[in-house]
Amino acid sequence: MEIVIQPTPAEVDSTVADIVEGYVRAGATTLGLATGSSPIGTYRELAARHRDAELDFSLARAFLLDEYLGLPKRHPESYYSVIRSEFVDHVNLDPAMVSSPNGEAPCPEKEIARYDQSIAAAGGVDVQLLGIGTDGHIGFNEPGSSLTSRTRVKTLTEQTRIDNARFFDGVDDVPHHVLTQGLGTISDARHLVMIATGEGKADAIAAAVEGPLSAFCPASVMQLHRHVTVVIDEAAASSLK
C-alpha cells in the first residue's frame, strides 16, 4: 500500500487526477467512481484537464459504487444525478457508459445480481476511487460488512445518515437503505485509490491503514489488495503513527 501525504487538499486532488489521467490517456479504461465530497476536487481537476489539456474520456466507461434505495434517479441527491452534475456533464464521458445500481428497481435482489454481472462483463474496474466514512465504511459497507461481500442492500448506520444529512434538508430525509458494491466487489478493481482530507477522517484512515484487518473497519480490506494508493492531506494523516 502506498500512502501519499500532501500538504493541502488541492494537492490531494491533483495527485489523484494524475493517477486517473494516466489510465484515461492509456486508452479504453473502466473507472470506478465514488460520490460524496471527497472526490469532488479531483472531478473538477479532471474537468479542467479535459477543457484545457485535451484529456479525452470518449473511450472510458464508469461504474458507481452505490446508490440510495428508493430515491428517484431524478432526485438531485441520487448518486445517479450527483455524478452527472459533478463530473460527467463536464467531460466527454458518454453518459450511457456510466452505470450505477438502480435504486428504483422493483426487485433489488435482481438488480444487485445484474450490477455485479455488468461490472464483470465490462472486464472489471481498472481504477476505483474511494472516499472513507468516519466509521471506516467504503462504498456503503458499514462496520460489520463481510470482507468478501458482493453488491447488496445495506442499512445505513445512524452516524452515516447524520454525516450525509448535509446533502439533504435534514437527517430525516436521508434514506435508510442503499445498494452498494460489496467489499469483495470493490476489491476486484485492479487499483484502489483512496482520497481523504481533514482531521475528521484521521481516525478512520489510521484504523484502515494501521489497524487490524477487521469487518469493523471495512476500509481495512484494502490491506489485502495488491495495488492501493491512499492519497491524504496532513490533517487526515494526523492520527498515523
Binding site for ligand F6R (CB under 6 A): 34-38, 65-66, 79, 131-133, 137-139
Min. distance of Cβ 13 from ligand F6R in angstroms? 12
Closer CB to ligand F6R, residue 25 or residue 176?
176
Min. distance of Cβ 181 from ligand F6R in angstroms? 9
User: Is residue 106 exposed (0-12), middle (13-18) or buried (19+ Cβ within 10 Å)?
Assistant: exposed
User: Is 169 tagged catalytic?
Assistant: no
Q: Give the Cα separation of 78 and 102 in Å (integer).
A: 10
Q: What is the DSSP letter of 176?
A: S
Q: What is the largest CA-CA distance in the chain?
A: 47
Min. distance of Cβ 54 from ligand F6R in angstroms? 28
User: Is 126 tagged catalytic?
Assistant: no
User: Any idea which residue has 452527472 for its cell?
Assistant: 84
User: Is 135 tagged catalytic?
Assistant: yes
Closer CB to ligand F6R, residue 12 or residue 55?
12
User: Is 137 tagged catalytic?
Assistant: yes
**Is 134 in a helix, a strand, or coil?**
coil
Q: Which of 45, 67, 116, 135 is catalytic?
A: 135
Q: Give the Cα separation of 172 and 229 in Å (integer).
A: 35
The three-point CA angle 171-199-151 to 5° equals 55
Closer CB to ligand F6R, residue 55 or residue 83?
83
**Residue 116 near residue 150, CB atoms below 8 Å:** yes
Measured from each CB, the residue nearest to ligand F6R is 131
Q: Which residues pair with 196 in a beta bridge?
A: 232
Q: Which of 13, 45, 66, 163 is catalytic?
A: 66
**Is 156 in a helix, a strand, or coil?**
coil
Q: Which of 45, 86, 142, 233 is catalytic?
A: 142
Min. distance of Cβ 53 from ligand F6R in angstroms? 26
Closer CB to ligand F6R, residue 56 or residue 173?
173
Helices (H), the chain: 9-25, 40-53, 79-86, 108-121, 158-164, 183-187, 202-210
Amino acid identity for residue 212 in this structure: P
Cβ neighbours around 8 below 10 Å, total:
12
Min. distance of Cβ 35 from ligand F6R in angstroms? 4
Closer CB to ligand F6R, residue 66 or residue 86?
66
What residues are labeled active site? Answer: 66, 135, 137, 142
